Amino acid sequence: MNGIDPGWLPPEAFRPLGARRVLIAGSGPLVDTVRREVSDACARFGGEIVRDGPYDLLLRLPDGEPVGDEEEFTVAREGGATTVTALGGRGLLYGLFQVVRLGEEAFSGALPREVHRPATALRMLDHWDNVAVHPVMGQVERGYAGGSLFWRDGRAREDFARIRAYARLLAACGINAVCVNNVNVHAVEAELLTDRIGEVAAIAAELRPYGIRTHLSVTFAAPVVLGGLSTADPLQEAVRQWWARAVHGVYEAIPDFGGFVVKADSEGRPGPFTYGRSHADGANLLAGALAPYGGTVHWRAFVYDHRQDWRDRTTDRARAAYDHFAPLDGEFAGNAVLQVKHGPMDFQVREPVSPVLGALSRTRSAVEVQATQEYTGQQRHVCWLGPMWSEVLRFRPEGGAGPTVGESARDLVAVSNVGDDPFWTGHPLAQANLYTFGRLAWRPDADPYRVLDEWIGLTFPSAPERLADGLHAVLDGSWRTYEKYTAPLGVGFMVQPGHHYGPSVDGYEYSPWGTYHFADRDGVGVDRTAATGTGYAAQYAKPWAEVYESVASCPDELLLFFHHVPYGHVLRSGKTVIQHIYDTRFEGVEEAEEARRVWAGLAGLMAPARHERVAELFEEQVRSAREWRDQLNSYFLRKSGVPDAHGRTIY
């Protein structure tokens, strides 16, 4: 496609494969995709698809066995030939992309037999895309990469090649599910479930050849708003029948439909609370309708009081998900997935891991992260989130011996950061977040920096070492840099209300959203201890309940999330809180300036359009970082009265 960035699948990445003799054994739609990929590569680089030996690469499904959705594959190299064996079409496709990732290494020396198997069942992207442009939220809610890939002017786009290209990028990092519309389901979008399912089917047809199933966000009130029933009560037989008929219609149109995503009783959305029913009742209603077809319902745990009175210190939004859902563990159907945001608040740059993720031993759960950078620079700042996600996925809710979050979660979900921007993600380097998400979803214990290596190797094939080093220098620490110049020590929510870009220290301090820092002239932070605070810390199992409960053991980076401390409190780092605030603001800006300098030195090592777009965005990032530094420093100097120990300029 003219003018559209190839992302991590530039033609050049297929050179090693495309110069070889390749034998493909097996049949089925996804094998056809594999064959087309190989054929295109060979046409470009002089290799060929052969019908029998000798070959350099064998891509095979087992003879005679039924071919399903199995994702596992094995790669080995013996006797001068490389073999990828898979149990199903998806596995073969993933194996092909693994060969692409390996590059020449796939064809040189010996490769010990390696079995690749995803740790998670569903690796999903949720698009918060509206069909009709929303008057406040626009086409894509919290989208920073242009319009929707799927919808425009109130209809499905007919840009099918673009959707197919997108599916190909997703498959190449292991994603196998896409939800095509916003979790906030407005009036127009509600109709996708019934009258307009054909439009969803058209999108599904483009995603399917790359092994991606289509999911749909639906409104819990659908029986009322679409079906004309007087109730959406999950325990009413008429409601159950309505959903059964609706789901039947969906599968008539999309036989491999993935399932529903539901945001219920959240920020004004309808839900089972309206009828005095539990969220298990609500989720199980939809799960029951989907079960005969193998579909799942992703039920979001993002339920809290968004009309809180800021004067009320007893209510703690951080507690809400646990309070609502932990008591329901074990009550959800097997194909109901509780989709839990990784932190208890809302995708802040630093939050503790949600205690809900340690409280669901008898519920299938999905961890939800946000690839779209709502609170992390909105794709105008470089902020590679791999290390943050990796910390979450490696966290052990029960401490040393217990499983990690990544081991417990059946599914991983990211809110998509993709739109119809030529670079897909607005900021060209934000592609790394999408790629990293896919790979960590496949293997949550992967080293994110190795994943970044992969992304660099694919996106910039045969890049000189200087470019790879520069990209690492710019990306590796970018999340911590962003944290340094924005809200400090885990306190969160110092953003401009509404759009959430740029600083406003008190922007959410007297709001109904449950997002407070309680800074006064003496100190700052939220007391969430069991002893004197909201009790949130006690939602964790040991050892974390104890670690977080005590100022002495709480990690510095989460201190203000769990404790209200005086500005003179000495951190484990040896610095006072106030000096830490000043120092990290100054450091963060310096690091952003340094990244901009490094980037400038990479000119000439990539396509000029890509370099220039990033260079322009760095100007905005540095401007914005300085604004964060100066506003926060002035705010805390005015409040605390404590001067900077190093006498730097605070306005």
Q: Measured from the CB atom, is 354 or 640 closer to a second copy?
A: 640
Q: Measured from the CB atom, is 160 or 510 closer to a second copy?
A: 510
| Alpha carbons 191 and 246: distance in angstroms, whole number | 11
Choice from 310, 457, 461, 546 touching a second copy (CB under 8 A): 310
Query: How many other CB atoms sit within 10 Å of the CB of residue 629?
Result: 26
Min separation Cβ 497 and a second copy, Å: 8
Token pair for residue 429? 């380097």
Q: Measured from the CB atom, is 232 or 505 closer to a second copy?
A: 505
Residue 510 interacting with a second copy (CB under 8 A): yes
Sequence letter at residue 148:
S
Choice from 505, 559, 581, 595 touching a second copy (CB under 8 A): 505
Q: Residue 115: beta bridge partners? A: 74
Question: Which one of the spans 188-196, 382-390, 476-484, 497-505 is the region binding a second copy (CB under 8 A)?
Answer: 497-505
Residue 160 interacting with a second copy (CB under 8 A): no
Question: Which one of the spans 37-45, 342-350, 518-526, 614-622 is the region binding a second copy (CB under 8 A)?
Answer: 518-526
Q: How many residues bind a second copy (CB under 8 A)?
A: 23
Question: Which one of the spans 336-344, 397-405, 588-596, 639-647 is the region binding a second copy (CB under 8 A)?
Answer: 639-647
Residue 186: left if φ>0, alpha if ψ -120 to 50, beta else—which one? beta
For residue 206, give the nearest of 240, 171, 239, 236 by alpha carbon: 171
Question: Which one of the spans 48-56, 161-169, 482-490, 519-527 is the region binding a second copy (CB under 8 A)?
Answer: 519-527
- Contacts for 156 with CB less than 8 Å, ≥ 6 apart: 131, 150, 199, 200, 202, 203
Min separation Cβ 459 and a second copy, Å: 37
Residue 144 contacts residue 138 (beta carbons within 8 Å): no
Q: Measured from the CB atom, is 457 or 502 closer to a second copy?
A: 502
**What does the DSSP 8-state code read for residue 219?**
-
Q: Measured from the CB atom, is 604 or 651 closer to a second copy?
A: 651
Residue 503 interacting with a second copy (CB under 8 A): yes
Instruction: State the sign of the Cα–Cα–Cα–Cα dihedral 297, 301, 302, 307.
Output: positive
Min separation Cβ 345 and a second copy, Å: 21
Residue 417 contacts residue 425 (beta carbons within 8 Å): yes
Token pair for residue 3? 């003018």
Residue 333 contacts residue 283 (beta carbons within 8 Å): yes
Question: Which one of the spans 197-205, 236-244, 480-488, 515-523 is the region binding a second copy (CB under 8 A)?
Answer: 515-523
Question: Which one of the spans 78-86, 239-247, 402-410, 503-511 is the region binding a second copy (CB under 8 A)?
Answer: 503-511
Query: Which residues form the catalytic set?
Result: 267, 346, 374
| Alpha carbons 107 and 104: distance in angstroms, whole number | 5
Q: Which of residues 616-635 bind a second copy (CB under 8 A)?
A: 627, 630-631, 634-635
Residue 647 interacting with a second copy (CB under 8 A): no
Choice from 105, 153, 506, 612 touching a second copy (CB under 8 A): 506
| Alpha carbons 8 and 431: distance in angstroms, whole number | 8
Sequence letter at residue 549:
E
**What's phi and psi for 182, nearest 5 deg?**
-60, 140
Q: Measured from the CB atom, is 116 or 517 closer to a second copy?
A: 517
Quick one: how many helices (H) and strands (E) in the chain? Answer: 20, 20
Question: Which one of the spans 20-28, 335-343, 584-592, 638-646 is the region binding a second copy (CB under 8 A)?
Answer: 638-646
Q: Would strands 259-262 and 213-217 be described as parallel, antiparallel, or unpaired?
A: parallel
Min separation Cβ 402 and a second copy, Å: 40
Min separation Cβ 350 and a second copy, Å: 22
Query: How many other CB atoms sit within 10 Å of the CB of residue 223?
Result: 24
Q: Measured from the CB atom, is 256 or 627 closer to a second copy?
A: 627
- Cα–Cα distances (Å) from 372 to 109, 141, 264, 346, 407, in that order, read 40, 10, 22, 12, 24
Sequence letter at residue 254:
I
Residue 640 interacting with a second copy (CB under 8 A): yes
Min separation Cβ 182 and a second copy, Å: 20
Q: Measured from the CB atom, is 139 or 335 closer to a second copy?
A: 139
Min separation Cβ 306 and a second copy, Å: 17
Question: Which one of the spans 291-299, 355-363, 365-373, 514-522 is the region binding a second copy (CB under 8 A)?
Answer: 514-522
Residue 520 interacting with a second copy (CB under 8 A): yes
The DSSP-derived string for 46-87 is S-EEESSSS-SEEEEPPTTSPPBS---EEEEEETTEEEEEES
Min separation Cβ 499 and a second copy, Å: 10
Residue 69 interacting with a second copy (CB under 8 A): no
Residue 519 interacting with a second copy (CB under 8 A): yes
For residue 259, give the nearest of 241, 284, 286 by alpha carbon: 286
Q: Measured from the CB atom, is 621 or 640 closer to a second copy?
A: 640
- Helix, strand, coil tally for the chain in percent (to 5): 40, 15, 45
- Cα–Cα distances (Å) from 369 to 337, 341, 436, in that order, read 15, 6, 12
Residue 644 interacting with a second copy (CB under 8 A): no
Residue 431 contacts residue 459 (beta carbons within 8 Å): yes
Q: Residue 76: beta bridge partners? A: 83
The DSSP-derived string for 471-539 is HHHHHTTHHHHHHHHSS-TT----BPTTT--SB-TTTTTTSTTS------SSEE-----TTTS-SGGGG
Choice from 2, 54, 276, 521 touching a second copy (CB under 8 A): 521
Q: Measured from the CB atom, is 211 or 523 closer to a second copy?
A: 523
Helices (H), 356-447: 386-394, 405-408, 431-442
Give the total residue count for the chain.
651
Residue 311 interacting with a second copy (CB under 8 A): yes
Residue 45 interacting with a second copy (CB under 8 A): no
Residue 504 interacting with a second copy (CB under 8 A): yes
Choice from 292, 638, 645, 648 touching a second copy (CB under 8 A): 638
Residue 445 interacting with a second copy (CB under 8 A): no
Residue 49 contacts residue 38 (beta carbons within 8 Å): yes
Q: Measured from the CB atom, is 6 or 507 closer to a second copy?
A: 507
Q: Measured from the CB atom, is 2 or 649 closer to a second copy?
A: 649
Choice from 52, 314, 362, 651 touching a second copy (CB under 8 A): 651
Min separation Cβ 506 and a second copy, Å: 5
**What does the DSSP 8-state code read for residue 293?**
G
| Alpha carbons 29 and 333: distance in angstroms, whole number | 32
Question: Which one of the spans 107-115, 282-290, 424-432, 502-510 is the region binding a second copy (CB under 8 A)?
Answer: 502-510
Residue 641 interacting with a second copy (CB under 8 A): yes
Residue 639 interacting with a second copy (CB under 8 A): yes
Per CB under 8 A, residues contacting a second copy are 310-311, 503-507, 510, 519-522, 627, 630-631, 634-635, 637-641, 651
